[in-house]
C-alpha cells in the first residue's frame, strides 16, 4: 500500500538470517529533485536511538525507509539478524510483513474504529505465537484504560498519541519507529507523554528509533544519537559523546549540555541531598525520591561548569570533579568551549577566553570542573 | 387507480433495471474509482474523461454507438453471439449494459472523491499494522469511504431511473421487457393520454425529489 512498490520480486523471501544478530545495519540511497538521502549506519539493537536534525535533513525519509514505506533504489537493511531489504539481490520485505511498530507525527488512529478496535487492529493480524506484549500491558503502560470505548474524534491530541503508541506496541514489534510523536502537541501534553515513553524504555526490550528536532527530548530519551543534515549522517554515537563533540553543532548551542547516566548511591536526609555516582565519582543533587541503586540521567549545561586548577574546599560549589582537558573551541572571540574527560565521561565547560588564557587551559591539562547545576532528566 | 397494468409493469421494470444497474456499477465502478484516485499514470486523464463522457453526450449518441457495438455486426455483438448469449439489443441485459455506461460517472466520481479524501496516511498506518493491500481495502478504505458509497448508490440508482434516450435507442419499446417508466410516459403523451402521463410523471417527480432530499438532507457524518 505504500508509495513504493510493496511487492518486489524478493517479497516472498522474508526474514533471511544475516550477520550481526544484535544490531541494526541500514544503508539507503534515494532521492528526488532537490533532496538526496545517503546514509550508511550501524546502530545498536537496543535502547532509544534518536534521529536528530533540522526539518529537511532527511530524518523522516530515513525512518520511512526503515519501515519500508519508501523503497530506496540502493538499500540494505538488517534488523537484529533479519534481512528486510537488500536491493543487490532484489529483496524487499513489504511494510506489512515487517515486525515493526510505527507512530506517526500526527494522529493516525482509524476514525471509524473505537480505541479498543484500533488497538486490536494490529494485534489480531499478528500470529498468536509472535505475541509477546499482552494488550493489557500495552494499555496499562500508556494509561489508556478509560479511553477504550471512545472514538478517536473524542480524544485529545495527547490521548490519541498514547493510543497510537499502545497500538504499535500491541503488535509486539521487534523495532519501534517514532516520527516526532510529540511534535504536534503543546508543552503540557508533551510532559504528559514523556513519562510513558520513558517507561517504555525501561520496561520493554524493544529498540526504538525516534525522530526529533527537539534537543530536550533527545536528552531525556535517547541513548544513541544520529545527527542528520542534508540527507547525510554527520555523526552517530552514544548520546554522552555526540552531545559533547566540539565539531558538531550541539556543543555550540547557547544551551549546550551533556548528559550523564548515573546511579543513586545514597540519600543525605539531614541536608536533603542525594548522592549520585558515575564512573566512581560522586555527584550531589537536591534530594530525590528515587530509591538507592536506581538509574537516573542528569543534564549538565556547559555554562554551569567552570574550571579551577586546584580542588578548592573554600567554595559553596558541591560538585568538583577531576577532569582532563580534551579539546578547545575558540571560534568565539569572548568565550571558549572546553571539552573535558571526567573518568571517561564527557563534560562541556563554557568559560571566558580570558580565563582560559590566564589558567593556561590547553589539551592534556588536568583541571577541576566545578559544576554549579545539575538537572535530573529522568 | 389511475396507473394501469402497463404502467405498473413499467414501474417494476424500471426499479429492477435500476437495482441491477446499480449493483453492477458498484462492482465495476469501485476499481475504476480506486485506480483514478491512486494512480500517477498518464492515462488517468484519458480514463477520467471517458468515464465522464455520459455527462455531456446526448444519450442518443451513447445509445447509437452501443447499438452498433452490440448489434450483429458489432464487435461486442459478435462476441456475445460466439459465446452463445445471442444479441443484447432489445433485451433487459442490453438495457443494463446501456444503463451502466450512462450512469457510470454518477457512481465513479463520488467514489473517487471519497477515496481521494482518505489519502495515503490510513493506508500506510494499516501497512505498519500488518494489513496487506486487500485486507486494507476492506478493513480501512471501505468503512472510511462509506459516505461516498451511499452517495454513489443513490445517484446511480436515481440516474438510471431517470434515463430515456439510451433506453429508447438500445431497448426499444417492448412492454414488460424494455419499456421503462420514462418510455411509457412518452407513449402516453404520443397517444394524448395526458391523465396517465400525469400520474407517472408526478410519481417520477416525487421519487426524484425524495431521493435528492435523502442525499442532500443527510446529516454530515462526523468522521474524526
Say what the pLDDT of residue B222 is.
Answer: 44
- In this structure, are residues A14 and A177 in contact, taking their beta carbons and an 8 Å threshold? no
Check: CB of residue B162 under 8 Å from CB of residue B204. Answer: yes
Task: Tell me: pLDDT of A15 over 70.
Answer: no
Residue A2: per-residue pLDDT: 38
Q: What is the mean pLDDT of residues A120-128?
A: 94
**Residue-wise DSSP of A150-176:** S-GGGS-HHHHHHHHHHHHHTT--SEE
The pLDDT of residue A13: 41
Give the pLDDT band of residue A191 (cuts 50, 70, 90).
Answer: confident
A96 with B223: Cβ contact below 8 A: no
Query: Do A229 and A276 belong to one domain?
Result: no
Structure confidence by residue, pLDDT tens digits, A153-169:
999 888 999 999 999 99
Residue A249: inside a domain = no
What's the whole-number average pLDDT of chain A? 88
Residues above pLDDT 90, as percent of chain A: 62
Q: Minimal Cα–Cα distance from A8 to chain B, Å?
A: 14
In percent, the amount of chain B with pLDDT more than 70 equals 96
Helix (H, G, I), strand (E, B) or coil at A240: helix
- Domain match, A297 and A206 both: no
Residue at a domain's end among A242, A270, A288: A242
Q: Which of B121, B127, B224 sits opposite A152 (nearest CB)?
A: B224
Whether residue A237 sits in one domain with residue A331 = no
* A interface test, pick of B38, B40, B121, B128 with most A CB neighbours within 10 Å: B128
Q: A134-143, A147-156, B147-156: which has the minimum mean pLDDT? A: A134-143
Average pLDDT over chain B, rounded to an integer: 90
CATH number, domain containing residue A194:
3.40.50.300
In a domain? residue A36: yes
Q: What is the pLDDT of residue B220?
A: 58
Do A49 and A185 fall into the same domain?
Answer: yes
Going by their DSSP bridges, the two strands A175-179 and A208-212 should be labelled as parallel
Q: What is the pLDDT of residue A106?
A: 84
Please say if the pLDDT value at position B27 is more than 90: yes
- What's phi and psi for A317, nearest 5 deg? -75, 125
Q: Kindly report, residue by residue over A33-62, the tens digit of the pLDDT.
A: 989 999 999 999 888 999 998 888 999 999
Task: Report the pLDDT averaged over residues B119-134.
Answer: 95
Domains and CATH numbers, chain B: 17-38+49-175 (1.10.3720.10)
Candidates B118, B127, B132, B224, partner chain A, best to mutate (most A CBs within 10 A)? B127
Range of the domain at A272: 257-376
Residue A278 has pLDDT above 50, yes or no: yes
**Chain B residues with beta carbon closer than 8 angstroms to that of A69:** 124, 127-128
Residue ending a domain, choose from A217, A242, A267: A242
Q: Give residue-wise pLDDT tens across range A198-220.
A: 888 778 888 999 999 888 888 88
Q: Residue B216's pLDDT is what?
A: 82
Residue-wise pLDDT for B48-92, tens only, equals 999 999 999 998 899 999 999 999 999 999 998 888 888 888 889
Residues A94 and A216 in one domain: yes
- Which pLDDT value is given to residue A113? 96
pLDDT higher than threshold 80 for residue A16: no
Q: Is residue A229 domain-shared with residue A261, that is, in the same domain?
A: no
Does a structural domain hold residue A335?
yes
Rg over CA atoms, chain B: 20
Find the mean pLDDT for residues B179-187. Answer: 89
- pLDDT band at residue A186 using 50, 70 and 90 as cut-offs: confident
Band (pLDDT 50/70/90 cuts) for residue A189 is confident
User: Residue B129 and residue A171: Cβ atoms within 8 Å?
Assistant: yes
Is residue A136 domain-resident?
yes
pLDDT at res. B133: 93
Band (B179; pLDDT cuts 50, 70, 90): confident
> Which of A 55-74 lie inside 8 A of B, CB atoms?
67-69
The rounded radius of gyration (Å) of the Cα atoms in chain A is 23
Higher-pLDDT residue of B25, B217: B25
pLDDT, position A301: 93
Q: What is the band of A83 on the pLDDT scale with cuts at 50, 70, 90?
A: very high
Q: What percent of chain B has pLDDT over 90?
A: 58
Residue A1 belongs to a domain: no
Residues A214, A112 within the same domain:
yes
Domain total for chain A?
2
Chain B environment of A121 (Cβ under 8 Å): 126, 129, 131, 139
Range list of H helices, chain A: 59-67, 115-123, 135-142, 157-169, 187-203, 215-221, 239-242, 353-359
Across A114-118, A204-208, B154-158, least confident range: A204-208
> Does A1 score more than 50 pLDDT?
no
Q: Using CA atoms, how far apart are residues A223 and B70, in angstroms rounded to an integer?
A: 71
pLDDT at B51: 94
pLDDT at B172 over 90: no
Q: Which residues contact B63 (CB under 8 A, 6 or more apart)?
A: B98, B165, B166, B167, B168, B169, B170
Q: What is the pLDDT of residue B143?
A: 95
Nearest 5 degrees, angle CA A345-CA A346-CA A352? 140
Please check whether residue A250 lies inside any domain of the structure: no
Contact B124 A153 (CB under 8 A): no
Contact between A148 and A128 (Cβ < 8 Å): no
- In chain B, the residue whose alpha carbon lies closest to the alpha carbon of A104 is B125
Distance from CA of A40 to the nearest CA of B (A): 23
Average pLDDT over residues A158-185: 91
Single out the residue of B37, B52, B220, B46 nearest to residue B114, CA to CA. Answer: B37
Q: How many CB atoms lie within 10 A of CB A378?
A: 19
Assess whether pLDDT exceeds 90 at residue A378.
no
- The answer to whether A313 faces chain B, any CB pair under 8 Å, is no
B131-143 average pLDDT score:
95
Amino acid at each position: 500500500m505504500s508509495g513504493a512498490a510493496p511487492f518486489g520480486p524478493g517479497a516472498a523471501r522474508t526474514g533471511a538470517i544475516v550477520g550481526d544478530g544484535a544490531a541494526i545495519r541500514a544503508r539507503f540511497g534515494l532521492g528526488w529533485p532537490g533532496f538526496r538521502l545517503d546514509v550508511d549506519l550501524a546502530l545498536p539493537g537496543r535502547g532509544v536511538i534518536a534521529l536528530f536534525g533540522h526539518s529537511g535533513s532527511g530524518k523522516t525519509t530515513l525512518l520511512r525507509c526503515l519501515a519500508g514505506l519508501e523503497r530506496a533504489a540502493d538499500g540494505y537493511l538488517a534488523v537484529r539478524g533479519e534481512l528486510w531489504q537488500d536491493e543487490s539481490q532484489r529483496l524487499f520485505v513489504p511494510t506489512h510483513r515487517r515486525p515493526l511498530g510505527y507512530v506517526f507525527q500526527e494522529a493516525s488512529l482509524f476514525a471509524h474504529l473505537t480505541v479498543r478496535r484500533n488497538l486490536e487492529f494490529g494485534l489480531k493480524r499478528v500470529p498468536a505465537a509472535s505475541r509477546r506484549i499482552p494488550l493489557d500491558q500495552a494499555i496499562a503502560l500508556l494509561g489508556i484504560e478509560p479511553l477504550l470505548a471512545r472514538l478517536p474524534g473524542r480524544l485529545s491530541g495527547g490521548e490519541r498519541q498514547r493510543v497510537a503508541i499502545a497500538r504499535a506496541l500491541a503488535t509486539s514489534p521487534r523495532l519501534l519507529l517514532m516520527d516526532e510523536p510529540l511534535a504536534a502537541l503543546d508543552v503540557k501534553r508533551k510532559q504528559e507523554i514523556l513519562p510513558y515513553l520513558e517507561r517504555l524504555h525501561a520496561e520493554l526490550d524493544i529498540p526504538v528509533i525516534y525522530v526529533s528536532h527537539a534537543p530536550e527530548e533527545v536528552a531525556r530519551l535517547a541513548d544513541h544519537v544520529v545527527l542528520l543534515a542534508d540527507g547525510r549522517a554527520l555523526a552517530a554515537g552514544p548520546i554522552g559523546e555526540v552531545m559533547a563533540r566540539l565539531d558538531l553543532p550541539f556543543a555550540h548551542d547557547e544551551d549546550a549540555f551533556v548528559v550523564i547516566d548515573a546511579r543513586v548511591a545514597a540519600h543525605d536526609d539531614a541536608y536533603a541531598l542525594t548522592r549520585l555516582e558515575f564512573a566512581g565519582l560522586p555527584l550531589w543533587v537536591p534530594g530525590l525520591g528515587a530509591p538507592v541503586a536506581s538509574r537516573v540521567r542528569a543534564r549538565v549545561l556547559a555554562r554551569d561548569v567552570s574550571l579551577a586548577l586546584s580542588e578548592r574546599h573554600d567554595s559553596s560549589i558541591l560538585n568538583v570533579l577531576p577532569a582532563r582537558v580534551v579539546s578547545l573551541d575558540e571560534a568565539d572571540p569572548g568565550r571558549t568551549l572546553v571539552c573535558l574527560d571526567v573518568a571517561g565521561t564527557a563534560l562541556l565547560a563554557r568559560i571566558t577566553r580570558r580565563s582560559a588564557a590566564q589558567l593556561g587551559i590547553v589539551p592534556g591539562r588536568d583541571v577541576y570542573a566545578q559544576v554549579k547545576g545539575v538537572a535530573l532528566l529522568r | 387507480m389511475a396507473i394501469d397494468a402497463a404502467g405498473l409493469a413499467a414501474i417494476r421494470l424500471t426499479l429492477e433495471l435500476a437495482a441491477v444497474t446499480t449493483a453492477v456499477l458498484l462492482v465495476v465502478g469501485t476499481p475504476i474509482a480506486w485506480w483514478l484516485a491512486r494512480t500517477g499514470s498518464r492515462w488517468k486523464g484519458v480514463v477520467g474523461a471517458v468515464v465522464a463522457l455520459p455527462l455531456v453526450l446526448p444519450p442518443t449518441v451513447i445509445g447509437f454507438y452501443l447499438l452498433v457495438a452490440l448489434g450483429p455486426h458489432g464487435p461486442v455483438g459478435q462476441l456475445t453471439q460466439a459465446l452463445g448469449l445471442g444479441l443484447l439489443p432489445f433485451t433487459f441485459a442490453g438495457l443494463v449494459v446501456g444503463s451502466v455506461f450512462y450512469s457510470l460517472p454518477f457512481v465513479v466520481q463520488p467514489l473517487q472523491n471519497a477515496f481521494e479524501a482518505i489519502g495515503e496516511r490510513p493506508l500506510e498506518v494499516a501497512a505498519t499494522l500488518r494489513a496487506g493491500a486487500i485486507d486494507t481495502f476492506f478493513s480501512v478504505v471501505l468503512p472510511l469511504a462509506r459516505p461516498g458509497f451511499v452517495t454513489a448508490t443513490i445517484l446511480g440508482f436515481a440516474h438510471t431511473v431517470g434515463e430515456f434516450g439510451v433506453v429508447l435507442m438500445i431497448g426499444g419499446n417492448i412492454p414488460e421487457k424494455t419499456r421503462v417508466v420514462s418510455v411509457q410516459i412518452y407513449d402516453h403523451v404520443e397517444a394524448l393520454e395526458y391523465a396517465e402521463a400525469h400520474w407517472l410523471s408526478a410519481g417520477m417527480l416525487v421519487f426524484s425529489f425524495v431521493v435528492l432530499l435523502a442525499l442532500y438532507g443527510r446529516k454530515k457524518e462526523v468522521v474524526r
